Amino acid sequence: MIDVQRLRVLRAVAEHGSFNRAASALRLTPSAVSQHVAALERSLGARVVERSTRGVTLTRAGRVMVGAAESVAAELEHARRQVDRLAGGRTRITVATFTSGGRLLLPGALARLTAAHPDAEVHIREAEPEASLPLVRQGAVDLALAYRFDGPLPGRVGPDHGLAWTGLLDDPLHVVLPEGHPLADRDELDPAELAGEPWVLGCLKTAAYLRRYAEQAGFEPEIRGSTTDYFFARSLVAAGMGISLVPSIALAPDIPGLRTVPLAHPAPVRHFGTATLGHRDLPHVRTLVDALREEAARSHGAWALHTVGDE
């Protein structure tokens, strides 16, 4: 029989990349961590890690066992939550969300949820997708409201990780310019026209995405400012520091003196959705997913109005 504690230790080693850091996270000694891993390897008859001076890497068998460890942890957390619900008489739902998506979709969706399930006790955690999706896999949250840019989902969403993804809406990114900019009156812009422009960005992931998108257009963007807040970034654009790339839903509230222009096809897009452990969804979670879909459909027209014309 495989010892659950040894799986927990292996999972920590995989997460932290070394026995010492895993030991610190688990409040064990490095020797104890090494012994747990060695005992797991003996019970399996296979090596699960490769040790080197640069740290620890998983073998193929180790990756299989870490996947199993994540599943076991999620099952135990799910069982604990069920027991808590039985003992408390209320259904607790924990939602992880990124800020702009939560602000747009959650208030209306939660109103629908509590109307349908008055016993629901909702807890909200703010987290970006790279943090929230692993929390769903681990069973620490019931639902993540997340996004991806064009390309793979963060957090390794896929059938082999047990997550169900429900798409909600697409959120195009637009160029924000001072209203006196020579390109501000255009109906749309080709990315190549923005070569040589200074940029101020409101998200580190947007900066990485802009670089990839600009590379396809044949230029390297000059980034003069990088913030973690789209409103702040737009304020800096209004102050004349540069231009910005901003998702549609982050174009409100209005800032005087700015213009918003869409990019020519294929325009960069954020894709919103929910991630859940589909096969273990509670009725309350399914209700919340449906409510988020309804709210996304209802909200789409409202925020789309901010994508053209003066702000």
Which whole-number Å values give the CA distances from 146 to 128, 186, 265, 273, 274, in the listed order? 7, 32, 24, 6, 6
Token code pair at residue 42: 């003996």
Domains and CATH numbers, the chain: 4-68 (1.10.10.10), 71-169+270-305 (3.40.190.10), 171-269 (3.40.190.10)
Within 29-59, residue ranges assigned H as helices are 30-44
| Contacts of residue 154, Cβ cutoff 8 Å, sequence gap at least 6 | 129, 130, 133, 146, 148
Q: pTM of the full predicted structure?
A: 0.68
Q: Residue 310's pLDDT is what?
A: 37
Helices 19-26, 4-16: inter-axial angle, 10-degree rounding: 120
Single-letter residue type at 97: T
How many residues appear in the chain?
311
pLDDT at 304 over 60: no
pLDDT at 261 over 90: yes
Token code pair at residue 124: 């909200």
pLDDT at 306 over 60: no
Residue with tokens 């409040």: 27
pLDDT at 280 over 70: no
Residue with tokens 């800020």: 99
pLDDT at 166 over 70: yes
| Dihedral, CA of residue 81, residue 86, residue 91 and residue 95, to nearest 10 | 0
How much is the mean pLDDT over the chain? Answer: 84
